[in-house]
Structure 1
């Protein structure tokens, strides 16, 4: 990827370096990050380098900075006063993640052409589809635990397709965008997908995820082929090695999506009602020529866990994590390797 220069100009050196370190960890950013704590060094660099975007803190902002003719200037606002209403302002004193989201969203909206992100030197992204026709089987807890464990060693993205996930409340977070927005932007301008994603991605214990929808009708009409097209583009334009799909009957063409997964995990229970539902599901697959899904699927009957972590950030330390390491990782990586 042909990276452009994003400069951070701030008199607070520790703040500038903390922001730079956070941004530098994001492999899909279209920028190479430069830091300046003095105006003279910024001006000297601007004479010999083309700076695409400048984040300038209010404490060092001046009209002379604007004279550099940098295409995109964002003021990191401290007092809340608009120094120049023609420039974009964002709040300096918020999380680095929120700042990054706002900067990438602004840049993607303003720039007609962004450099194309290309996957280089990585194996194909593996898609893990997790689905069960049986309710209350710990599917989402299993999915998030597996995802967080994989994320310790592999770049992993988690997508939740529950009708009512409650994820925002459980994480005590509010989200400005969700997976329906990602599909919308992908449909409108797929060449900007990598950067749109970077402005939407949230993280829990190292695991990246795009927030699930608040209103499930937002996904109405999106066909399975469109989801598969999106997944292929994510692979092409990112460094994700695993994509985990927490699937439900709420997604159209569910079976076509499952058919295209590299791994399918079905969690079940052995009570009479659960087994009857599982049997009906597998007969339906067979009758409609989707029996390859049942053949590919690994079925997991989870044991009764004495205690599961109350917080999603602690899932990798519980009994379920131990079960996944002992049983699921050998299925993913082979018995000679237990993964993360």
Structure 2
């Protein structure tokens, strides 16, 4: 694969970013959805990008903070969009800041609005089929730099890495708890977090694991479980909030709905149905925080993680566990969900608790 991709159209829209898999995914969306007035170019090498924009008239440039100084004084670029972690940072420069870690649809909308304001371009035109530029070849990728989002640290231009201290009691919305590493106390961690947040605001805990061990964690059984709630949602009931209140139990001040007992039933629920359920709960009920204790068998797992305002990933420092963590993070990036990592907090669990559980099991 060459260092550049092109969509055969008129005008030039240049894209270059340090996060290779992330921008590959976004480039595909841009090239299919943006107006039919551009040729789209994707570069992974900033030097090749600079060579191109210095020699070729560029209508729109989408790049990142890391390359902003390089492109600052390049003349003739009509519109510059800069990926940033601080929306206010570039407003006084004429560049348009684009918050990196948000859904691709919102990024696309902000770019469309920026283009409309400057050029009044028709944004509904169909896009032609991609093809290679004729009569010109571009260098093969050399020195490709892949920068992976670090869950516990954020790398920002001009300052060293620093740990970000987060106060979960100030977060409102969906909080996801997920780990590719099992039997390390994830559910207990999720419940304790929910109980802590419940001291400040209404919280609902949902366990979306195939084998939740609900009888162990929730000995006080209620008459209905999560499956009944899904059924209620599908009935388009108007008394949704009242119905949920009749299903909930309480543990340490935190409300919960018993998990589904049959894993095969859990697997039949589609990802879009889960997302609709979560939206309905936050819109129609009293809860300000929804705690999701997520398992591997849930459909649409990555999309659910993306919907979370924060994701906690418990782990242990053990070779097999760290290998699973690495694979999970790489999978997120490769499938276009690398933005989930920017909202992820990794929580190291104590080995002692795991060893005690294992010893008890072996007795």
Distance 1:291 1:174 in 2: 38
- Paired with 1:135 and 1:190, the residues of 2 have a C-alpha distance of 37
Is the 2:207–2:294 contact (alpha carbons within 8 Å) kept by the matching residues of 1? yes
Do 1:125 and 1:235's aligned partners in 2 also have CA atoms closer than 8 Å?
A: no
Aligned equivalents of 1:124, 1:166: Cα separation in 2: 27
Distance 2:305 2:237 in 1: 23
Which residue pairs with 2:197 in the alignment? Answer: 150
Q: Which has the larger radius of gyration?
A: 2
Deviation, structure 1 residue 241: 1.4
1:250 corresponds in structure 2 to 297
1:110-144 C-alpha deviation (Å, 9 max, x unpaired):
xxxxxxxxxxxxx9941100100001121100000
- Distance in structure 2 (CA, Å) of the matches to 1:144 and 1:283: 28
1:199 is displaced (CA, Å) by 1.2
Residue in 2 that maps onto 1:232 = 279
The corresponding residue for 2:288 is 241
Superposition pairs of residues 302-317 of structure 1, within 5 angstroms? 302-304=349-351
Matched, 1:270 2:317: yes
1:178 counterpart residue number: 225
Gaps of 5+ in 2: 1-169, 358-363
Q: Unaligned stretches of 5+ in structure 1?
A: 1-122, 311-340
Distance 2:333 2:217 in 1: 37
How large is the RMSD of aligned CA atoms in angstroms?
2.4
Q: Partners of 2:190 and 2:343 in 1: how far apart?
A: 18
Q: Does 1:189 align with 2:189?
A: no
What is the match of residue 266 of structure 2? Answer: 219
Q: Which residue of 2 aligns with 1:294?
A: 341
Q: CA deviation at 1:273?
A: 0.3
Superposition TM-score, scaled by structure 1 size: 0.52
Once the two structures are superposed, residues 162-220 of structure 1 have per-residue CA deviations (whole angstroms, 9 ceiling, x without a partner) of 21112224433333211111011111124221121011011112110010011122223
Q: Retained in 1: the 8 A contact 2:184–2:315? A: yes
Structure-2 separation of matches of 1:183 and 1:170: 21
Task: Give the direction of change, closer, same or farther, for the CA distance of 1:188–1:163 in structure 2 (3 Å limit).
Answer: same
Query: Which whole-Å CA distance do the structure 2 matches of 1:170 and 1:298 have between them?
Result: 24
Contact 1:125 1:240 in 2 (8 A): no
Cross-structure match for 2:181: 134
Q: Structure 2: how far apart are the matches of 1:293 and 1:136?
A: 23
TM-score, normalising length: structure 2:
0.49
